Amino acid sequence: MSTQQNNDPLHGITLEQILNNLIDYYGWDKLGQLIDIRCFNNDPSAKSSLKFLRKTPWARKKVEDLYRAMNRID
């Protein structure tokens, strides 16, 4: 049997973990400046942001890209 290796650097990291790490590192104000979406700028909460990000692929990609840059993950 052969084992396949997952080359996704975010494999095993949930969107919730990514978002919480970004909030801890940048805070809501800076996060809203870096990624200008309403759920980060108007009465932000992790719950509402996760709901939006799970339904919006382009926004999720921006969040994941920022997380990669923050952690210098390729």
For residue 28, the one-letter residue type is W
Query: In this model, does residue 6 exceed pLDDT 90?
Result: no
**3-state DSSP percent of the chain in helix, strand and coil, to 5:** 65, 0, 35
Residue 14 to residues 10, 20, 54: CA-CA distances in angstroms?
Answer: 8, 10, 11
For residue 64, how far is the Cα from the chain centroid?
Answer: 4
Residue 41 to residues 29, 53, 67: CA-CA distances in angstroms?
Answer: 7, 14, 18
Domains (ranges, CATH) in the chain?
15-71 (1.10.720.30)
Token code pair at residue 20: 């919480």
pLDDT at 56: 96
pTM: 0.83
Q: What is the pLDDT of residues 26-65, one digit of tens each?
A: 999 999 999 999 999 999 999 999 999 999 999 999 999 9
pLDDT at 74: 54
